[in-house]
Amino acid sequence: MSAAGAGADLGPCPICGRPMIAGPSVDRHHWVPRRLGGTAWDWLHRLCHKKLHSLYDERTLARDLADPESARADPEIAKFIRWARKQPPEALGRHAAPKGRRRRR
């Protein structure tokens, strides 16, 4: 998972700010999808990562949510963060699959 190994403290999640612990509750997120040329990435809670991808398609993520600050400023993500901060750091969560096409702005 990480160079520090499972169970290591990865610091706060760039989206929700909760502590991250290496293991199944974290994922790597490319701020600009790799297929669109992105290389920068961060660890995120799997819960936060799934939420980003359940709301927006890759082009929208690359165009409008290409860094933690812009993601946190998004109204849908801000609403999610208020809920997520009440969850334990190791929560995996589930999100409904997007209906039809993924939402674009």
Q: pLDDT-based confidence at 96, cuts 50/70/90?
A: low
pLDDT tens across 62-80, in order? 999 999 999 999 999 999 9
pLDDT given at position 1: 40
pLDDT tens across 42-60, in order? 999 999 999 999 999 999 9
pTM recorded for the entire structure: 0.79
Q: H/E/C letters for each residue in 36-88?
A: HCCCCEEEEEHHHHHHHHHHECHHHHHHHCCCHHHHHHCHHHHHHHHHHCCCC
